[in-house]
Chains A and B, each alone.
Chain A
């Protein structure tokens, strides 16, 4: 299985801050990488697919980049409603998720 290592596991930031989460794959996965947001008690929501494509209806402050083994997810200006856990997920092989990054407001 392809292992996905996300960092940090938790993050505290202020409203308006630029927030960055990284995800590293254990082998080359090209751009087969998605990012999801999960708010407490809710189902996950797709934000970014194929490493850098914004899902329809998702605010443009969310973005993704990377290819191969190293990927980055960015919130350009943190909003209160962005409090959630974020997961990366690869689908180059059987799908696997990163362990998640819990984002809190400072």
Chain B
């Protein structure tokens, strides 16, 4: 069974940094691209970032480009999101999602974790 477990969320002050992690199991992790999708409280879904199977290609939403960095460690079956210069508008539930293919553009999110909450506030 595919499992995606996010961690690393919490309360952080504006301008500070946070690193999210996603532990994957139940599938061959390095066969698939992985993504982060977020959902602000009471709002809709927003794609944040994606990374290809071998880390050779990444993509970012304009809202986070230059501030967030996605990475993965296939040996540890783990996905990461380094978030710098956080803003109040980054407050959201962050989901880790498994794609259906190796490449970032094939962004169909077949499985999702339960999310980790990031709150940016002073």
| Interface, chain A (partner B; CB < 8 A) | 1, 34, 36, 38, 42-46, 49-50, 55, 87, 89, 91, 94-100
**In the bound complex, do residue A55 and residue B61 qualify as a contact, i.e. CB atoms below 8 Å apart?**
no
CA distance A45 to B4 in the complex (A): 13
**Can you list 22 pairs linking A and B with CB atoms under 8 Å apart?**
A36-B45, A36-B109, A43-B112, A43-B114, A44-B109, A44-B112, A46-B108, A46-B109, A46-B111, A49-B100, A50-B108, A87-B44, A89-B45, A89-B107, A91-B105, A91-B106, A91-B107, A94-B59, A94-B61, A95-B35, A96-B47, A100-B45
* Measured CA separation A35–B111 after assembly (Å): 13
A43 touches B113 (CB 8 A): yes
Is B110 an interface residue when CB atoms closer than 8 A count as contact?
yes
Q: Please give, as numbers and ranges, the residues of chain A lying within 8 Å of B73 by CB-CB distance.
A: none
Does B68 sit within 8 A of A, measured CB to CB? no
- Can you list, as one digit per residue, whether each of B21-45 has a CB less than 8 Å from chain A (1) or not (0)? 0000000000000010100000011
| Chain B residue at smallest Cβ distance from A96 | B47
CB-CB contacts of B78-122 with A at 8 A, as 1s and 0s? 000000000000000001000010000111111111110000000
**Complex contact A94–B47 (CB within 8 A):** yes
Nearest residue (CB) in B for A45 is B112
Q: Which of B100, B107, B115 contacts A43 (CB 8 A)?
A: B115
